[in-house]
Amino acid sequence: MEEQSRAELRALLIAERERLRESLDGAEEAAKPVQLDQASVGRLSRMDAMQGQAMALAVVQRQRQRLRRIDSSLQRLEAEDFGYCADCDEPIDLRRLRLDPTLTLCTACVSARE
């Protein structure tokens, strides 16, 4: 892979990592435990708050997983393992990597798994 392409993908990964970190701060705040003060909040309001908390927890989990994938991709970039399929070691199409630089499988291996 050309150095220019590697630099472009590195910049995409770093930008997404920073955006996710900022977003994660807000999502973690929304995922905090719900206060169950029955005197001030009705049963339906508590249920709504608990549902909102559950959805925020799911968002936090997805964002953390995505951050792990980004960090892993940045490590592979540094080790020069980046851009090769984890199953067959063939190069992953650069167009696919530009869409999602955290991909670890080529199109053929993804199709074979489905």
Question: pLDDT tens digits for 16-69?
Answer: 999 999 888 777 776 666 565 655 556 667 777 778 888 888 888 999 999 999
Q: How far apart are CA 63 and CA 74, in angstroms?
A: 16
Single-letter code of the amino acid located at 62 = R
At 38, which helix (H) or strand (E)? Answer: none
Burial class (CB in 10 A: 0-12, 13-18, 19+), 79: exposed
Is 0.85 surpassed by the pTM of this model? no
Segments making up each domain of the chain, as ranges: 3-82
